[in-house]
Amino acid sequence: ADMIGSSRETVSSLINKMKKENKIRTERKFIFVKKDLIE
């Protein structure tokens, strides 16, 4: 039971990590687009 619980925690943490990275990537994309629009 402990193993299943710990694996669930790692999976959720990995998903959260991916979500954060995706958010950063989309934010960077928006910044680049804004720069292009300004120039």
> Is the model's pLDDT at 23 over the cut of 60?
yes
CA angle at residue 25 from 35 to 16, to 5 degrees?
A: 150
pLDDT at 33 (0 to 100): 84
Two tokens, residue 37: 């629009």
CA angle at residue 36 from 26 to 22, to 5 degrees?
A: 5
pLDDT at 16 (0 to 100): 96
> Is the model's pLDDT at 1 over the cut of 90?
no
Sign for the pseudo-dihedral over CA of 3, 8, 11, 17:
negative
Domain parsing of the chain, residue ranges:
2-33
Mean pLDDT score of the chain: 86
